[in-house]
């Protein structure tokens, strides 16, 4: 049974609006629809349908050719992005052995093995190994407390004008609460997400915007090069 994720049940917008965004917009078809339904039925955290629809729209606008994903899970979002690309490639990183095996099977079943490179291991180490690669779109959907320390390498790997999309940054709205109000078991996530947002939302080298999709989708555009190495000191 998958570990419980309480944020899946804490919408950051009016619940009726959320349900409309999920059920009133165009639905997936075929194997991707089956995979999405499987994840929902088994309480496996994947991007919600309002984010699915947005990513499809966004990919048709920016037409990325080289995509990096940090946090594969069962491979749903990587498969979705690969499906929307013509002649492009997705590199995705997953540390959990069970999730890695599930994603590997998904990519094989969907005949996406030529379009997706699945890397197993700690994201921090793999990101550092990708020194010679550059990407025009990066999707961060991993451990929320690690966004802060992962960002410098993701920024380094991003082409100028490229986009970083960061999922689940609002924590069901609790991101706005004082730390004393946050349960001790999730205080590190709360602190590191706030530290992350404090840096990226007002940095001169970036344009950033948070969309109230799912549990908050942060979009960052790289305007110019900058030094974020101070964030790598995070453990």
In the chain, how many domains are there? 1
- The answer to whether residue 220 is domain-embedded is yes
For the full predicted model, state whether its pTM sits above 0.85: yes
Cα–Cα distance measured from residue 73 to residue 42, given in angstroms and rounded to the nearest whole number: 13
pLDDT tens over the chain, length 235 residues: 455 555 556 678 889 999 999 999 999 999 999 999 999 999 998 999 999 999 999 999 999 999 999 999 999 999 999 999 999 999 999 999 999 999 999 999 999 999 999 999 999 999 999 977 799 999 999 999 999 999 999 999 999 999 999 999 998 888 888 988 888 888 999 999 999 999 999 999 999 999 999 999 999 999 999 999 999 864 4
- The answer to whether residue 169 is domain-embedded is yes
- The answer to whether residue 177 is domain-embedded is yes
Phi-psi region of 32 (alpha: psi -120 to 50; beta: other; left: phi over 0): alpha
- The answer to whether residue 210 is domain-embedded is yes
Give me the CATH number covering residue 39.
3.40.50.150
- The answer to whether residue 147 is domain-embedded is yes
Integer CA distances (angstroms), 202 to 198, 205, 208, in order? 7, 9, 8
Which among 169, 176, 175 has a CA at the least distance from the CA of 216?
A: 169
- 46 within 8 A of 72, measured Cβ to Cβ: no
Residues paired with 93 in a beta bridge: 70, 119
- In the annotated binding site, the residues are 47, 77, 94, 141
Integer CA distances (angstroms), 11 to 45, 64, 92, 114, 118, in order? 14, 29, 27, 36, 31
- The answer to whether residue 193 is domain-embedded is yes
Widest distance between CA atoms in the chain: 49
- In the annotated binding site for S-adenosyl-L-methionine, the residues are 47, 77, 94, 141
For residue 156, give its domain range: 15-232
Which among 37, 127, 145, 128 has a CA at the least distance from the CA of 91?
A: 127
- 65 within 8 A of 87, measured Cβ to Cβ: yes
């Amino acid at each position: 049974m998958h570990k419980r994720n309480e944020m899946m049940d804490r919408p950051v917008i009016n619940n009726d609006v959320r349900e409309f965004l999920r059920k009133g917009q165009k639905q997936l078809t075929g194997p991707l629809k089956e995979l999405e339904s499987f994840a929902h039925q088994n309480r496996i955290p994947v991007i919600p349908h309002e984010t699915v629809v947005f990513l499809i729209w966004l990919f048709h606008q920016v037409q990325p050719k080289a995509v990096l994903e940090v946090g594969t899970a069962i491979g749903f979002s990587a498969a979705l992005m690969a499906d929307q690309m013509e002649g492009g490639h997705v590199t995705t990183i997953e540390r959990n052995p069970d999730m890695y095996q599930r994603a590997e099977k998904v990519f094989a079943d969907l005949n996406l093995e030529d379009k997706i490179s699945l890397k197993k291991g700690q994201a921090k180490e793999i990101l550092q190994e990708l020194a010679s690669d550059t990407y025009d779109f990066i999707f961060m959907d991993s451990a929320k407390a690690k966004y802060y320390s992962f960002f410098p390498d993701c920024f380094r790997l991003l082409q100028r004008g490229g986009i970083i999309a960061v999922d689940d940054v609002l924590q069901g709205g609790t991101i706005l609460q004082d730390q004393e109000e946050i349960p001790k078991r999730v205080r590190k996530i709360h602190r590191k997400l706030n530290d992350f947002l404090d840096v990226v939302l007002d940095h001169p080298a970036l344009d950033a915007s948070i969309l109230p999709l799912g549990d908050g989708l942060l979009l960052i555009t790289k305007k110019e090069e900058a030094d974020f190495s101070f964030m790598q000191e995070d453990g």
